[in-house]
Every structure is written in structure tokens, then in C-alpha cells.
Structure 1
Amino acid sequence: MNEALIEGTFAALYRLRRRLQLFFLDEFDGLYEIFEELRDNPHCNGLDDDRYQRFLGPVPSHIVRAFVRLDEGELSNEDAFTRDPLETPLIQIYALWRSLIRSLHTFRRATFAFLDSLIVSDATAAATSPDGEALECQICAEDIIQPGQIILQLPCHPTHLFHRECLQLISILFCCSPGLYRPTPALFAGLCLLCFLVSSPPPT
């Protein structure tokens, strides 16, 4: 995140009246918690309907009113002529958090939907072994057939099998680590994760 934007946000918050300052701090904390949950929880399939409306739907009326109050004398007297420099970083940081959350939500929903389309049965997975030997998950190297594990088969080759939980963790690594490629479900559909890692290693 842009350091200048963060500094400008805290500078703007510091100069607000206490009541409005706490309001914006609570709102930004809520946005960060939602972002953190989407980023760190591999089992989170985006936001539910209620939270989507709350954080990504139309800007809530109480948020609109809070920004309006910046135009109604909620600043201290000495800041009366510096309203725009205070208001701008607050709007920018609010819009940025919504944008980041929307991107993660969209990625998770698309990824989960695609992974659902790759599920195969234990019998199907066992039948793909050319010599009858037990196949392994291409990520964790454990036997592909495990109690409680969902098996995914990518399109490029029948023996490229993965535990769903392993593939979800890999997708989060690529989605959230700065400097790494960010594959999408469309990329997985046409190119196996193994082929992708071999042919397009992350930049150093």
C-alpha cells in the first residue's frame, strides 16, 4: 500500500473531532479484518450475501453521512480552510480497501467454482495409474486417496491429481504474495499447475 496515502490518512484522522475520528477508525478496521480473512483463510469462498452488501454493495448511508459531515464543520477551526487535503486521503483509503476486498472476493469465488468442476471420485483417481501403483498428490506427495480428502484432476493429464486443500493453498500463495504471478481459474483450466510452474517460474 502507498506509504504516502497511509501517512495522509493518519494525518487526516488526527485532525478530526474525536467522534468522527473514531467512526472512521472503526470503519477502516472492519474493512481490514474482512480483507485479512479473505487473504489468509484458504477455506473462505468469498463474502456471504450480507457482508457483500455491507462492504462491497452501495456505499452505506452512514458512510455517506460521515463524509458529508466533513463539509458541515466537523473539523476544528484551524482546519476550516484545509478540508480537501483532509477529506481526500480518507476517501482514497476507503475506496482502496473496497477495491482490494472486491478483487479477493472475485478471485475466491471464481477459483472455488473452477475447483468444484475438477472433482473426481476415488475410483476415477485410482484408475488413472498406468501400472496400478498408488498415485500421489502433485503438491504434498502423499497418496492421492486419503480419508476426508477431495481429489481434483486438472485437464492437461489424467495423472496430474491434487488434493483440493493443497491446490487451494497454492492458489492463495499466488494470489496474495507480492511479486509472484497471479494465475486465474482460466489459466488453470488450460494449463496444469505443474506445467505453469515449470514453464513460467516466478520472477526473482
Structure 2
Amino acid sequence: MGHLRILFICIGNTCRSPMAEGILKHLVLKNNLDWFVDSAALRSWNVGRKPEGRCLKVLEDHGIKLKHYGRMITKEDFEKFDYILGMDETNLNELQLMADMAGKNCRAKVGLLGTYLDNYEMEIIKDPYFSKGMSAFCDTFDQIYASCLKLIEKHRYDNVEHADDDPNVGGEIKKEQEEGAKALECV
């Protein structure tokens, strides 16, 4: 069985998408799945930067360590990933345009992470960046965590094959997840 490749997207890759990456990597490890998980931005503002401090804090409060530096989405991501999931309608609209531009080389299914909850009111994952304090980040964490649980429930047994399967892709995530597991043992 091949490993599923999932990419989370938000506008700046500093709050929601890295939070989703950290949560799903944690759940993938916990569920012993062989998935590749990453996140990226639609804009270049935070390329090379760590996620927002409050994002890292809420993850750490839940025993999740995240090692990530912001990057932008690329054309190749549409060829490499099985799912590219945005956080809001603006993300989705841009992702759909980019998928159309990728044309026949686009293998990724584009959607919203929040749709896994089957609750129309929860489909949009709001950006907590401009909020004061931790409350909005905690709410965002809860919404993303619940969405990721449903995502695993839906795709746990998906059998995907990649013509370009590189053993290092799975190995890369495995190594990172094992390091994360060791870090979790210390928490």
C-alpha cells in the first residue's frame, strides 16, 4: 500500500497550515500510518520563518513538537501530493486556479480541511493571527484536530500508488516522525 501525501495551505504558512501539519503528523504517528504531511503558503511573506509563536505554544501545550519553516506552494506540489487542503474559501479559490494551470499533470484533489467535519458552520478555519491572546489559537487547534481525526477516518485505508515513488519521501517523513515520537516521550 502506498503512502498518502497531504499538503495543507493557508495564506502565510505561519498559523493554520503549520498547525494542521503538526497535528496530522502527530496523529499519523499515533495511528502508525505511512503518510507524508507538509504545509505551505500562498504568499511569500514568511518563507524560511518558523510558525507564529502562539501556534507553536498551543501545539506544545498538546504535546506536539513541530519543526517547520515556511515555504510557498509550487507547481510540483500539484503533481506530488494526493490532497491539497486549504483553510478558507480564498485559499480554495486560489488552489483551484493553480490546479487548473497545472493541467493534466495535476494529481492532487483540492479542497478545504474543514469539510471533513460534515458541519457547514465549521468548514472555514478562521485565521487566528490577528487575535489577541491564545483563545482563538485554542479554538483553531480544536477545529483542526477534529478535522484531522475525520480525515484519517475517511482516508485510513486509501491505497495510493505514485509512479514517482521515491523511498526517501516516505523515509524522510518516517525519520521526522520518529524524532517527533522521541520528543513526545520527553513531554
Task: Give the TM-score normalised by structure 1.
Answer: 0.22
Higher relative contact order (CA 8 A, sep 6+): 2
Of Structure 1 and Structure 2, which has the larger fraction of its residues in helix?
A: 1
- Larger Cα Rg: Structure 1 or Structure 2? 1
Of Structure 1 and Structure 2, which has the larger fraction of its residues in strand?
A: 2
